[in-house]
Chain A
Amino acid sequence: MSALESGLCRYVLLTYAHSGDSLRRVLDEISGDEAPFGLFGAAGGYALAARRAMHEFHTGPDTWKHIAVGQRQWARLNPRAILRDRPLTLEDYEAAPFLVEPFRLPDNCLVNDGGRACILTSLERARDLKQPPVTIMGLGQHNPSADLYQPGHLTGPTGAQAAFRQALGMAGITRSDIDACQIYDCFTYTVEITLQDYGFFEPGQGAQWFAGGTIEPGGAMPVNTSGGQLAEAYHMGLTPLTEAVMQLMGRCGARQLGPETATKKPEIILCSDNGGVLQTHACCILRRWTP
């Protein structure tokens, strides 16, 4: 942003792409001192965090099933979603096999080919472009831990809490101004702990908050409206970010927030990204631009 504001550059391309097979190999090889004990992949670390969370506050499959099912409802409306034609019910979730318990298959994100991009420029330059611009209101980042297995942050507060505070301060808004969320969702638990640390509900209140379709089409707080990484496609932090931009531009077709999906036409959308196993966190608040 400061490079654009200072005139060092006029356009910045944010892009990410991968082949699913090479990403899978990278993820499978995430191991070090833990490999002799059979801890492989990202699922192991996140499942350890989720299991500890089940010990510390009320959470578990009864919370996560609403996230998996809710995001799949959005994927049904998205022609680009990989799982568009694979509906998921609460009963399907409960019958799905465990991979790394406590995670069942639908708790895990996709591994796929593909890519995403978006372009940053100054508002002055963007005003008369073909597509309406979206503005950045606030940014925040907080990285609580370098050492995964000497834990203290896995069950919250993750970096989400401090990062969100920064972003809200920069934007000059409060949480109640947010109309929808696009949350980094490598696993269902990631969505829960992120929204919990953002303060949308108290620790352990997720099951009630998510139940009844809160995040689904027609819900009070739409979350991951493309289907997210669980059901649309995994493109690191660009899955949530590009969906937020597209929603605010009004380019989302059948899944467009607003009257089409019995939700509020969005003014402000919150996006998140996290790295490692909940070790780093960044968030971004975007706003629809009205001339």
Chain B
Amino acid sequence: MTVPGKPSPRLDADAAPFWEACRSHRLQVQRCTACGQVRWPPAFLCPRCHGRDADWVTCSGKGRVYSFVVYHKAFHPAFEGDVPYVVAIVALDEGPCLVSNIVGCDPSRVHCEMPVQVTWEDRPNRITVPLFRPIDG
């Protein structure tokens, strides 16, 4: 599925490995090699211990909805076809939170603490974004 015209993510040196992994449908976040803190967003310093070195760990793709909102109005023309759409803070099982969309489910069914699983959306310009859908059951 491709959706034209949506804003591209920040593709700077810190974040590029994350988005590169997304193209292979792999969700990975940084882990500080000094203190072990798993973090998001990508950065060149650990926000906890200021360590400079980090490696990337692959996440399970599972998490839960920490909070969510439903956009009933598009603030950007590329989202006009999507309203009402759900933006959520997803707390990954590994710790950090990601902002993403909850898809594959009526917005009225979404609730805080709902278990979710990553799903991938390939967009133009070789961008793939991690979205989340409910884990059935």
Contacts of A44 in B (CB 8 A): 69, 71, 87
Q: Which of B15, B75, B123 has the most CB of A within 10 A?
A: B75
In the assembled complex, the Cα of A40 lies from the Cα of B76 at a distance in Å of 8
Q: Are B75 and A41 in contact (CB under 8 A)?
A: yes
**Cross-chain contact of A36 among B89, B96, B112, B129 (Cβ < 8 A):** B129
**Cross-chain contact of B67 among A48, A99, A150 (Cβ < 8 A):** A48
Which of B6-62 touch A at CB < 8 Å?
6-10, 15, 40-41, 47
Contacts of A38 in B (CB 8 A): 6, 71, 74-76, 79, 82, 85, 87, 101
Q: Are A149 and B85 in contact (CB under 8 A)?
A: no
Q: Are A33 and B99 in contact (CB under 8 A)?
A: yes
Q: In the complex, which residue of chain A has the Cβ closest to the Cβ of B39?
A: A150
Q: Are B69 and A151 in contact (CB under 8 A)?
A: no
Q: In the complex, which residue of chain B has the Cβ closest to the Cβ of A41?
A: B75
Contact digits for A147-170, partner B, Cβ 8 Å, 1 yes 0 no: 101110010000000000000000
Q: Are B67 and A151 in contact (CB under 8 A)?
A: yes
Contacts of A48 in B (CB 8 A): 67-69, 87, 89
Q: Are B75 and A28 in contact (CB under 8 A)?
A: yes
Q: How far is the CB of A143 from chain B (nearest CB, A)?
A: 15
- Of the candidate stretches A6-14, A49-57, A62-70, A237-245, the one touching chain B is A49-57
Contacts of B113 in A (CB 8 A): 55
Contacts of A101 in B (CB 8 A): 69-72, 84, 107
Contacts of B70 in A (CB 8 A): 98, 100-101
In the assembled complex, the Cα of A38 lies from the Cα of B74 at a distance in Å of 8
Q: Is B127 an interface residue (CB 8 A)?
A: yes
In the assembled complex, the Cα of A52 lies from the Cα of B112 at a distance in Å of 7
Total interface residues in chain B, CB < 8 Å: 40
Q: Is A276 an interface residue (CB 8 A)?
A: no
Q: Which of A33, A99, A102 has the most CB of B within 10 A?
A: A33
In the assembled complex, the Cα of A69 lies from the Cα of B79 at a distance in Å of 31
Contacts of A97 in B (CB 8 A): 72
Total interface residues in chain A, CB < 8 Å: 31
Contacts of B67 in A (CB 8 A): 48-49, 51-52, 55, 151, 154
Which of B79-134 touch A at CB < 8 Å?
79, 82, 84-85, 87, 89, 96-101, 107, 111-113, 123, 127, 129, 131
Q: In the complex, which residue of chain B has the Cβ closest to the Cβ of A27?
A: B75
Q: Are B75 and A37 in contact (CB under 8 A)?
A: no
Q: In the complex, which residue of chain A has the Cβ closest to the Cβ of B79?
A: A38
In the assembled complex, the Cα of A28 lies from the Cα of B76 at a distance in Å of 9
Q: Are A36 and B72 in contact (CB under 8 A)?
A: no
Q: Which 9 A-B pairs have the closest CB atoms?
A: A40-B75, A52-B67, A55-B112, A35-B7, A101-B70, A47-B69, A34-B99, A38-B79, A98-B72
Interface residues of B (CB under 8 A from A): 6-10, 15, 40-41, 47, 66-76, 79, 82, 84-85, 87, 89, 96-101, 107, 111-113, 123, 127, 129, 131
Interface residues of A (CB under 8 A from B): 28, 31-41, 44, 47-49, 51-52, 54-55, 97-102, 147, 149-151, 154
Given contacts A39-B99, A51-B67, 20 further A-B contacts (CB under 8 A): A28-B76, A33-B10, A33-B41, A35-B76, A36-B6, A36-B123, A36-B127, A37-B87, A37-B99, A37-B129, A37-B131, A38-B75, A38-B76, A38-B82, A38-B101, A40-B76, A51-B112, A101-B69, A101-B71, A150-B96
7 contacts between A and B (CB under 8 A): A33-B10, A37-B129, A51-B112, A52-B66, A55-B112, A150-B40, A151-B89
